[in-house]
């Protein structure tokens, strides 16, 4: 079963935005999707509570103990949204079951510094060769110095840059209603869907 982990120890980088939209895409493909949140805040569960029942279903998760994820029966795909400060036993627990790790980051010095150390930690993990890992630039603004600096930095990392997602209110407005890019008319989010195409290919 594919288990897609969205992780970065830095908070506010867009992990939940990435996780909910990955889950939405998988559900739209007809998969039985579980969206979990390895965080006491349970942001994913709160988003799921807003999701209209008529849309392709995305299920929540059951937690046994502190660190064991037990997907609902019949799940074919799992997406895990992880908290800021992910390390130690929690990181070990999610890497133990991960098939993919997506690392979102924004064009800021603080994100770059946090991500650099995290990538080194992932590369040193005993399962590094078994897990597909990739980077996603979030809130990217073309033709800005910050984005240019981020692109230069990403080129130095040993992981592929899967895609860059633009800075747009589409994600904010959709999340407030429990929606994803795949739950509205394609014409409304055409630019965003084009940016997701390399990411969906990578996941497929």
pLDDT for residue 27: 98
Mean pLDDT (whole number) for 126-140? 92
pLDDT for residue 66: 52
Alpha helices in the chain (DSSP H): 15-28, 43-50, 88-97, 109-124, 145-154, 169-175, 190-203
Count the Cβ atoms, other than its own, within 10 Å of residue 67: 14
Q: What is the pTM of this model?
A: 0.92
Structural domains of the chain, ranges and CATH numbers in brackets = 3-203 (3.40.50.300)
pLDDT for residue 69: 58
Task: Identify the top-confidence range among 39-48, 118-127, 177-186.
Answer: 177-186
Residue in the structure block whose two tokens are 């999340």: 175
Residue 63 has pLDDT above 80, yes or no: no
pLDDT tens-place string over residues 167-180: 999 999 999 999 99
pLDDT for residue 110: 81
Mean pLDDT (whole number) for 80-108? 87
Short-list 79, 41, 40, 85, CA closest to 60? 79
């Amino acid at each position: 079963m594919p288990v897609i982990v969205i992780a970065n120890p830095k908070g506010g980088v867009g992990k939940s935005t990435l996780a909910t939209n990955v889950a939405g895409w998988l559900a739209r493909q007809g998969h039985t999707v579980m969206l979990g949140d390895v965080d006491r805040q349970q942001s994913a569960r709160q988003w799921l509570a807003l999701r209209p029942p008529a849309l392709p279903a995305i299920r929540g998760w059951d937690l046994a103990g502190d660190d064991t994820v037990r997907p609902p029966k019949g799940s074919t795909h799992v997406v895990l949204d992880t908290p800021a400060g992910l390390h130690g036993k929690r990181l070990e627990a999610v890497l133990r079951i991960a098939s993919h790790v997506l690392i979102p980051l924004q064009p800021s010095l603080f994100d770059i510094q946090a991500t650099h150390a995290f990538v080194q930690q992932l590369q040193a993990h005993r399962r590094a060769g078994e897990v597909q890992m990739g980077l996603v630039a979030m809130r990217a603004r073309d033709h800005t110095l910050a984005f240019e600096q981020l692109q230069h930095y990403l080129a130095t990392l040993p992981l592929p840059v899967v895609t860059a997602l633009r800075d747009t209110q589409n994600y904010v407005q959709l999340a407030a209603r429990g929606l994803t890019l795949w739950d509205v008319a394609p014409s409304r989010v055409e630019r965003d869907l084009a940016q997701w195409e390399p990411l969906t290919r990578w996941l497929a």
